[in-house]
Amino acid sequence: MFAQTHQDRAISPRMSQVIDRDALAGYLYVQVADHLAQRIATGELAMGTGLPSELKLAREYGVSLGTMRHATQVLRKRGLVITVQSKGTFVVAQPEVDTNDDRREDEPQASRRLPCGSSTP
């Protein structure tokens, strides 16, 4: 009764055109990461600036917080952002390659935790 499905969440019109929930091409968090990488590449999210909070981004894209955290992790693996504990996530580089390719390294791997204070895998 209180659970809210992804269909019920308000998605910004801009994001609803970007995310294809029925795509067979890959995981939703990879689609979100690809779109954020495109925003970094175009300068919409400029180097040295902080990303909005994961919660705010999750609401903007109409995805769960867990999906957004996976997307942020993908961006860290690609070297586009760093996360500083208690400070936020910051853009540190622009993509060097096309962000729409099928990147198999972004697919799920065994979970591993980073040591406290570590910002990259």
Domain boundaries, the chain: 13-97
Say whether pLDDT at 37 is over 90. yes
Q: What is the pLDDT of residue 57?
A: 96
Q: What is the pLDDT of residue 7?
A: 44
- Give 90's contacts (C-beta < 8 A, 6+ positions apart): 48, 49, 50, 51, 81, 82, 83, 84
- Which one of 3.40.50.720, 3.40.190.10, 1.10.10.10, 3.30.930.10 gives the CATH number of domain 13-97? 1.10.10.10
Q: What is the pLDDT of residues 62-101, one digit of tens each?
A: 999 999 999 999 999 999 999 999 999 999 988 875 545 5
Let me know the angle formed at the C-alpha of 104 by 102 and 107, rounded to the nearest 5 degrees: 110
Q: What is this structure's pTM? A: 0.65
